[in-house]
Structure 1
Amino acid sequence: MTDQSAPPTAPEAVAVPEAVAVPEAAAASETVAAPEAVPVPVPEDPAVLAEQEARRDRRRKAAVRWSCAALVFVLAGTGTALAVTAPERTDLPGLATAGDGRYTFAPLTLPPLPAGKAAPDDKGKTPHHADLRHLLLPAPKEAGGSLTPPVFPAPTLGPTPSGSPTASPASPASPASPASPAAPAPTASAPAATPAAASGLGQWVPCDAIAEEQQDAARVHALLLEEACRAATVREWTASDGTRTQIRLLRFGSFRESWEAFGALRAKARPKAAPDTRTTPHDSWDTVDGTSLTTMESTTAGPGGAPTARFGYLSASDILAVVTMTNPAGVPVTPFRQVVTLQADLLV
């Protein structure tokens, strides 16, 4: 019989036991933390202390210097701003407007009116009631005039009207003649004892004094006699530039009489100061409501090309104003325009 032997079996794997963890606490003794070392103060070196103190001093001095510098800059800036803004722009170097010949006048002041009297209107229906001398433009600074506004005395009605071109109310009476009627006695409005120069007023003159300045004096005299000029006054000055200015104011009994004299003078007058004249445009001028204006100039020119004489004729209600400016070197248009405009302002 055949013996069947069982196949040999593989030996079983022998399990290797896991390593047994040994507690660290049991294996090693417990570690004890060592106490921190306490720093022991070491005395500083005197040289180091001196250096630190010197450094602090330098910082304080630098702070003081910068503070002072900042304060100086602030004060300088403030002073500069005040120096620039306080004065007029025209007084600053480099910013001043180039002079164009205009004069320096005191602020214009209208004289007071007598009680119950109205100011003139722009239609010519209301005459001027103020003293005629108070309506003259004052002299400018360039001619020795004062820059202080005038102080007017109590208002008066002016000289007594008459039907002819009379002499000044302040002038002594003279014998009557065909060319110069008798003058009225001095009135309260123009006392003979008060000189015009002392009071700062213009001068009373005969109405036909203007005729003596014309080439045809007889014609102008007849015109003033026909239109019944009531009173006249004049102011003259010579500025530092050599220009002589004369302003005449003539008062008539009504706007119609003043207008007729205005039209005749501007059309037919031939001043001795300028035998040949021509009318000049003034459309670009600032208009003054209530006045009519005609401007003329001499055909003779000075070295610079400006005419040697300029004339302005103004009509405002019952007053006729004649502005004459002459200069052999030429009369610039700017001061002429200024004088005429300011005189017109005083008549409205």
Structure 2
Amino acid sequence: MTDQHTGPRQPTAPPEPPTAPPTTPPTAPPTAPALLDPSTPDPAPSPAPAPAPPPAKDRRVLRAVLRWTAAALVFAAVGTATAYGIADRERTDVPGLATEPDGRWAYPEITLPPLPAGSPAPFADGNAAGAHHADLRELVLPAPEGAVEDKALRGTDGWLATKELLAEYAEKEDREEIGQLLTDHALRHIAARGWTTQDGTRTRIYLLQFGTGAVADVVFDGLTGPRAPDHGLRGAPEVVLDEGFSPDAVVQDVTRTAYDEAKPYGGEHVRQAYLSAGDTIAVVVQSRKGDAKAVPFQQTVVLQSQLLG
């Protein structure tokens, strides 16, 4: 019985070849190539290599996820960067957002002037008068880039004489009536700025400050009307309400009434807006030979509203 078991093992006994040096370099463990090389054959009994679509699909999914993640980050960054100083940003400076020029002017960076120590903002709790405690001269919108400033509107030390504002109105009776209105309601002072852009558009902005917001509201009602102002500006004998402003252009705590000259225009096309913000009224006038564009007018009015709000 013992010889029957030992006899068959002798022919297969020489197991020396496995101990001989291998003729090819040793390979990595069978599981490692499957993680590093998608083309490694599947360890199935079939000699044919396993198809590669699953890894390729995984890579496509990964690339898609990365693309969507990058897009989400871009939109988040753009949304965060959108602020009230966008007026001075060239749209073509933002990769992927280049558009044809839309007519907006390039304003410099706009910031609110500091408040005196201990003074509240105009619409803060406890400021029932709606007083602007910041220097009114610093609340006038600056001229856009490339514009030529009208130094005459800066007045003396930044304060403008009332007669310079009254000169905007066409009729002597209107100038006298408005002058009396301002006197009766104790106009404190006027800060103003004006400029002319390269296309010939002339802009004038006047800020009128009174003792309280309640007083300013009375004057605002005396200067404006539901369909047209009670007093006509020079060059605009007939006007209509300007309803071209976007609903999103409303500035909190600022009341706006805007008018556009009715066609046919005179020597110049005149646009005008009145703003009421607490103790201050703003008068914004733009005029241009031919056609005063709507976009820069609306942009100017909204930016001035934001400074006052």
How many percent identity over aligned positions? 37
Over the aligned positions, Cα root-mean-square deviation in angstroms equals 2.9
Deviation at 1:114, TM superposition (A): 1.1
Q: How far apart are residue 115 of structure 1 and its match?
A: 1.4
**Larger Rg over CA atoms:** 1
Aligned CA distance change for structure 1 residues 99 and 232 (closer, same or farther; 3 Å):
same
Aligned to 1:177: none
Q: Give the alignment partner of residue 168 of structure 2, picking from 205, 213, 220.
A: 213
Distance 2:236 2:303 in 1: 24
For 1:293 and 1:130, the matched residues in 2 are separated by 21
How far apart, CA to CA, are the structure 1 residues paired with 2:155 and 2:298? Answer: 32
Q: Are the structure 2 counterparts of residues 117 and 328 from structure 1 closer, same or farther at C-alpha, using a change threshold of 3 Å? A: same
| Counterpart Cα distance in 2 of 1:169 and 1:207 | 12
Deviation for aligned residue 1:222: 1.0
Distance in 1 separating the partners of 2:154 and 2:92:
45
Question: What SS is found at the alignment partner of 1:106?
Answer: coil
1:204 aligns with 2:159: yes
1:101–1:301 distance in 2 versus 1, CA, 3 Å: farther
Residue aligning to 1:343: 304
Partner residue of 1:278 out of 240, 245, 255: 240
Q: Secondary structure at the match of 1:204?
A: coil
Give runs of aligned pairs for residues 235-246 of structure 1, distance below 5 A: 235-246=193-204
Q: CA deviation at 1:301?
A: 4.7
1:234 is aligned, of 173, 187, 192, to 192
Cα 1:117–1:94 shift into 2, 3 Å: closer
Question: Does 2:272 correspond to 1:311?
Answer: yes
TM-score, structure 1 length as denominator? 0.54
Contact kept? 1:207, 1:229, Cα under 8 Å: no
Question: CA-to-partner distance for each residue in 1:154-174, whole Å, 9 max, x for gaps?
Answer: xxxxxxxxxxxxxx9975xxx
Q: Residue 204 and residue 99 in structure 1: after superposition, are their counterparts in 2 closer, same or farther (change >3 A)?
A: same
Q: How far does residue 269 in structure 1 lie from its aligned partner after superposition?
A: 2.1
Bigger helix share: 2
- Work out the CA distance in 2 between the residues paired with 1:170 and 1:139: 16
Q: Could you tell me whether the CA contact under 8 Å between 1:245 and 1:323 is conserved in 2?
A: yes
Partner of 2:287: 326
Q: Which of these residues, 98, 101, 105, is aligned with residue 99 of structure 1? A: 101
Residue 208 of structure 1: how far off its partner (Å) = 4.1
Deviation (angstroms), 1:89: 6.5
Q: Deviations over 1:246-289 (max 9, x none)?
A: 00000001111111111111121211131211112246342100
Q: Give 1:198's aligned residue.
A: none
Residues in 1 aligned to 2:108 and 2:238: alpha-carbon distance in whole angstroms: 34
Q: Look up the SS of the partner of 1:138 in the other structure.
A: coil
8 A contact 1:103–1:142 mirrored in 2: no
Partner of 1:163: none
> In the superposition, relative to structure 1, how do residues 92 and 328 fare at CA in structure 2: closer, same or farther (>3 Å)?
same
Q: Structure 1 unaligned runs (5+)?
A: 1-84, 146-167, 172-189, 191-202
What residue number does 1:90 align with? 92
Structure 2 residue runs of 5 or longer lacking an equivalent are 1-73, 75-89
Distance in 2 (CA, whole Å) between partners of 1:240 and 1:208 is 28
Alpha-carbon distance between aligned partners in 2 of 1:231 and 1:252, rounded to the nearest angstrom: 8
Q: Give 2:212's aligned residue.
A: 254
CA–CA separation in structure 1 for the residues paired with 2:165 and 2:218: 16
Q: 1:225 maps to what in 2?
A: 183
Q: Which residue of 2 aligns with 1:143?
A: 147
Q: Which of 134, 138, 144 lines up with 1:134 in the alignment? A: 138
Cα distance between partner residues in 2 of 1:291 and 1:226 = 23
